[in-house]
Amino acid sequence: MCGIVGYIGKQVAIPILVDGLKKLEYRGYDSAGVAVLDCEKIVVSKSVGKLVALEEELGQAYSQSCIGIGHTRWATHGRPSQVNAHPHCDCKQDFVVVHNGIIENYLELKDMLIEKGHKFASETDTEVLAHLLEDYYEGDFEGAVRKVLKTIRGSYAMVVLRRLDPNKLVAARKDSPMVVGLGDGEFFVASDITAILNYTRKVYILDDGEMVVITEDGVKVSDFEGNSRTKEVYDVKWDAVAAEKGGYEHFMLKEIHEQPKALKDTMLGRLEEDKVILQEVDLTLEELAQINKVYIVACGTAWHAGLVGKTLIERWAHLPVEVDIASEFRYRSPLVDKHTLVVVVSQSGETADTLAALREAKNRGARVVAVTNVVGSTVSREAHDVIFTWAGPEIAVASTKAYTTQLEGMVLLGLYLAQVKGTLPTEKIGEIITALKRIPAQVQELLDQAGLIEELAKSFAKVENTFFIGRSLDWAVAMEGSLKLKEISYIHAEAYAAGELKHGTLALITENTPVIALATQRDVYEKTISNVKEVKARDAKVIGLTYAGNTSMAKSVDHVIYIPETMDELSPILTVIPLQLLSYYVSVARGCDVDKPRNLAKSVTVE
Ligand code: F6R
């Protein structure tokens, strides 16, 4: 989604804003802009496209002002264009605003303002904020912002500058992340910590309903009513270099290769020989005895992790599980009450639909466990219990290390529930833990074969349609494999339960439709092979994935990728690795923008 950055201090603002926007670009990148205060004038520069375009627009002779705001936009209201790019001003150019999120009542406010004679330049909801400020201003900057906050509905993180208040930034948040960076005589505001890590690691994480006034002298946090709030300084442990490419050509490839470490980190301190320790989850046997159903709610890749979680929890903890797409969950009156455990899965912890589902579940009395990768994220702060995945910042839009660590989170949660309920013998838990500890090294084994996958990817460069098939847990992984290929290589890929093909989809199989067949689940292996034969009989080229030591699959397919030997339940963490690599190399072979695929954003903070 969009990204915001603001600066006030003694350094020239524009290079700091542009640097911050570069770190945020992955959140949205159809246009960008900055505004600074220069000699009692607001100077705005904007451009469509990537940040290089803005840098060109700014040139070398940019303003030397030490206060400014910047924005990268991912269009919601109004198409991507220079005029719709942020920052936005009022009629008199007295106020300038950057904003993430959506102002839901902007049309009625816009009509009201037009009636009063305001002239709008853009199609955005954001511009309403600048005109409202102009309308409400009666000699008190903060007072005008507060009045605006009371008038608008929706989700937002915003930063405002006023032409005649040259030493002040005012910011506020509701349902959209925002942090304030505390430097030495200088301050930063941003929608994402990454944007300011080059300058400081001390931050305030703003809560919903908080407003902040930043001057060179300090930071004052209050609620929307003006009551002051005390904030704790959060010390960011990871450094900016961790968020850089570290020698890889793309963030996605770097993140694929980080998976052994991410998986190791995520299990750190959580596994004894035959016991799972989840300090952040505090469910007693008595509480669990009251739970009769589990809902897993998430979007996209995180939802795919939830599909695997369903099988694990049902198999190990004997609890019925429903998996729901977060954007659907709220709108069909889910049967959720105090006897339901709701598990929300979100890498960013800021996905609007997932957050809304979390709140809906809490309103209905459910206990909510979050599986998330971002400490301090809204999801992590609002859930009752949190299992953090320790994947580190994920920059590529296509999720890789977040997915495999989410799968690990599902394994940990499934085992934990089984352990508390006593539905798995201790020896069995011990066996699973032993197998889980081997997974990072086995992921590495697969990564060491990246060259073979790169070769295989060449034959996909001209493909336009493909199918991923599998049964049981393989079907869940097939969905993730097909999403990866779609989103970064723009090849139409569909995932099908292997047994379902003959009910219609088989009609699409031709010699030009390669099929990727996942057959790692031993209990349904024979059945999957029958389905592979069905597509082979229609001349499809088939790449098979099966467990190491299984020599039979080679007889039925064109090429086999062997997955290191593990328990069927843990196999998804391994099976997805070649699929991630395949998508990556196909995307490169087709000349696509791997890290920033078209039309997509990393963090989706609108519904
Ligand atoms: C795909 C991808 C998305 C996200 C989805 C949810 O590669 O990354 O499908 O999984 O937008 O995002 P989070 O996990 O941040 O809630």
CATH of the domain at 574: 3.40.50.10490
| Tokens coding 317 | 């903890």
CA distance 56 to 39: 23
Claim to verify: residue 414 and residue 550 sit in the same structural domain: no
Instruction: Quote the ligand 1 centre to 397 CA distance (angstroms).
Output: 8
Claim to verify: residue 154 and residue 257 sit in the same structural domain: no
The residue from 226, 244, 262 where one domain ends is: 244
* Within a domain: 551: yes
Number of domains making up the chain: 3
Which residue bears the tokens 């020989």? Answer: 273
Respond yes or no: is residue 602 known to be catalytic. yes
| C-alpha distance across the termini of the chain, in Å | 11
Q: What is the mean pLDDT of residues 380-390?
A: 93
Q: What is the mean pLDDT of residues 534-549?
A: 94
Please provide residue 45's backbone torsions phi and psi, each rounded to the nearest 5 degrees. Answer: -130, 135
Claim to verify: residue 32 and residue 150 sit in the same structural domain: yes
Structural domain of residue 568, as residue ranges? 450-589
Claim to verify: residue 211 and residue 259 sit in the same structural domain: no
Residue 403 alpha carbon, nearest atom of ligand 1: 10
Higher pLDDT, 169 or 194: 169
Q: What is the mean pLDDT of residues 318-340?
A: 94
> Which residues does 184 contact at the CB level (< 8 Å), separation at least 6?
none
Helix (H) or strand (E) holding 129: helix 126-136
CA distance 223 to 231: 12
Claim to verify: residue 228 and residue 292 sit in the same structural domain: no
Claim to verify: residue 213 and residue 304 sit in the same structural domain: no
Q: What is the mean pLDDT of residues 19-44?
A: 87
Instruction: Quote the ligand 1 centre to 335 CA distance (angstroms).
Output: 25
Instruction: Quote the ligand 1 centre to 297 CA distance (angstroms).
Output: 12
Respond yes or no: is residue 39 known to be catalytic. no
DSSP secondary-structure letter at 8?
E
Strand partners of residue 276? 271
Which pLDDT value is given to residue 330? 87
* Within a domain: 603: no
Claim to verify: residue 239 and residue 260 sit in the same structural domain: no
* Within a domain: 605: no
**Residue 74 above 90 pLDDT?**
no
Share of the chain above pLDDT 70, in %: 97
Q: What is the mean pLDDT of residues 419-429?
A: 96
Query: What three-state secondary structure class fits 605?
Result: coil
DSSP for 307-347 reads HHHHHHHHHHH---EEEEEHHHHGGG-----TTEEEEEEES
Which pLDDT value is given to residue 203? 95
Please tell me if the CB atom of residue 301 comes closer than 6 angstroms to any atom of ligand 1: yes
Please tell me if the CB atom of residue 266 comes closer than 6 angstroms to any atom of ligand 1: no
Q: Answer for the pair 336, 364: CB distance below 8 angstroms, yes or no.
A: yes
Which pLDDT value is given to residue 243? 57
Instruction: Quote the ligand 1 centre to 255 CA distance (angstroms).
Output: 15
* Cis peptide bond upstream of 334, omega within 30: no
Which pLDDT value is given to residue 29? 65
Query: What three-state secondary structure class fits 248?
Result: coil
Total number of residues shown for the chain: 607
The residue from 244, 277, 294 where one domain ends is: 244
pLDDT, tens digit, 9 for 90 and up, residues 458-482: 999 999 999 999 999 999 999 999 9
**Alpha helices (runs of H) in 448-524, residue ranges in sequence order:** 450-458, 473-489
Closest CA to 87 of 180, 5, 198, 151: 5
Q: How many CB atoms lie within 10 A of CB 47?
A: 18
pTM as predicted: 0.78
Q: What is the mean pLDDT of residues 507-518?
A: 92
**Which candidate in 310, 541, 596, 602 is catalytic?**
602
Please tell me if the CB atom of residue 357 comes closer than 6 angstroms to any atom of ligand 1: no
**Residue 239 above 70 pLDDT?**
no
Claim to verify: residue 326 and residue 352 sit in the same structural domain: yes
The residue from 221, 244, 267 where one domain ends is: 244
Please tell me if the CB atom of residue 346 comes closer than 6 angstroms to any atom of ligand 1: yes
Out of 234-238, 322-326, 337-341, 564-568, pick the least confident.
234-238
Output the CA–CA distances (angstroms, integers) from residue 145 to 96, 124, 135, 359, 464, in the order listed.
12, 19, 11, 27, 51
CA distance 413 to 415: 5
Q: What is the mean pLDDT of residues 33-54?
A: 94
CA distance 159 to 148: 13
Claim to verify: residue 457 and residue 361 sit in the same structural domain: no
Claim to verify: residue 285 and residue 410 sit in the same structural domain: yes
CA distance 6 to 67: 8
**Residue 527 above 90 pLDDT?**
yes
Residue 406 alpha carbon, nearest atom of ligand 1: 14
Claim to verify: residue 114 and residue 87 sit in the same structural domain: yes
Contacts 24+ apart (CB under 8 A), 559-567: 559/456, 561/449, 561/452, 561/453, 563/446, 563/520, 564/442, 564/445, 564/446, 566/435, 566/438, 566/439, 566/442, 567/431, 567/432, 567/435
* Within a domain: 346: yes
Please tell me if the CB atom of residue 399 comes closer than 6 angstroms to any atom of ligand 1: yes
DSSP for 333-395 reads -----TTEEEEEEESSS--HHHHHHHHHHHHTT-EEEEEES-TT-HHHHHSSEEEE-------
Claim to verify: residue 270 and residue 404 sit in the same structural domain: yes
